Amino acid sequence: MISRRRLLCAIPVAAGLAVFASRMSWASMTQAPAYEALQIKLPKNACDCHVHVFDPDRFPYAESRTYTPDKSPVPFLEQHLSRLGMDRVVIVQPSPYGTDNRCLLDALNRMGKQRARGVAVIGQNVTDQALQDMHAAGVRGVRLNLEVKGNADIAQVQQALQSIAKRVQPLDWHIQMYANLDTVKALADTVRNLPVKVVFDHYGHLDAAQGLDQPGYEEMLSLLSEGHVYVKLSALYRVSQKTDYSDVAQYAQSLVSHRADRLLWASDFPHTMPAPGTTRSKDKIELFRREDDGRALNHVAAWIKDPKTLHQILVDNPDRLYWQA
């Protein structure tokens, strides 16, 4: 018989194992189970429009980072794309690298411009030559991440958007924003008047539990309908608390009904969301969230159903935004 003392001692261990089971270290990623088999036949040049590469052994993280992710170098990205059967990919500069885009540019060089495009993060002092060099390497956008540190100052963001737009308009780049719907609502008029396209990450970081009438969603739909923005159908776990993500279906269908030609699909591999209740720190390595990206793609395909619309989202829209620019 197990004593009460031994049982109580075992509870934290079991809880810790449960949390660990939902996380993946760089070493375990090579033995990760295969993704769920796709329920659709992927068309040629299907694109995963939002992934990250982390290679701290070769490219150290920025000292100013708010967290320290584990490793996920280019070979792990190649493995991910092979499991999904994706021909193309868009690599997005992650926040732990700050404005040091060397890891991103190295990944683009190794994968080649026919397969890979990039979204960089730039500082105020970036030179025109540096932007030209990044363009030649395959960069087609600049990311503005307003969610890692939170509490976006709207006036500062407006100024940043206008400044970035002025720099990247000659290159026909877009601005990619990770912002919540409150921020989208506050910035709607600014976005509407920018001379460049804007891409909202991860369903505009909506809250799937709040319903279609949640503040900011109408503004995002208006911007989408008017053709000012693209929206990424990505990272279901960032917007839903349900294990099957079923409450996201109405948003995917709503977005499709407004502008299917302005939607993109993405996995958000290798999934840098911390475990619930975790305080992020740069002093400890944060393991990746375990996600089945085959299942994530199957969810979206089941919600949308129409093969022509899926072709737009997986092939036509990314080709227009990233490869024809």
The CB-side HSE value for 288 (13 A sphere, CA atoms) comes to 22
User: Helix, strand, or coil here: 47?
Assistant: strand
Please report where in the chains the tokens 């002093």 appear, as a residue.
283
Strand (E) or helix (H) holding 15 = helix 4-21
Q: Are strands 116-120 and 288-289 parallel, antiparallel or unpaired?
A: unpaired
Retrieve residue 260's tokens.
């299917």
Task: Give residue 116's identity as a one-letter amino acid code.
Answer: A
What's the rounded Cα separation, in Å, for the pair 27 and 202?
27
- In DSSP notation, 133-162 reads HHHHHTEEEEEEE-SSS----HHHHHHHHH
Rg over CA atoms, the chain = 20
- Cα torsion 73, 78, 84, 88: sign: positive
Closest CA to 248 of 259, 234, 262, 261: 234
What's the rounded Cα separation, in Å, for the pair 25 and 31?
10
Q: Are strands 285-286 and 288-289 parallel, antiparallel or unpaired?
A: unpaired
Backbone angles phi, psi at 243, to 5 degrees: -65, -30
What's the rounded Cα separation, in Å, for the pair 304 and 241?
21
What's the rounded Cα separation, in Å, for the pair 140 and 324?
10
Residues recognised as catalytic: 268
CA angle 226, 208, 262 (to 5 degrees): 25
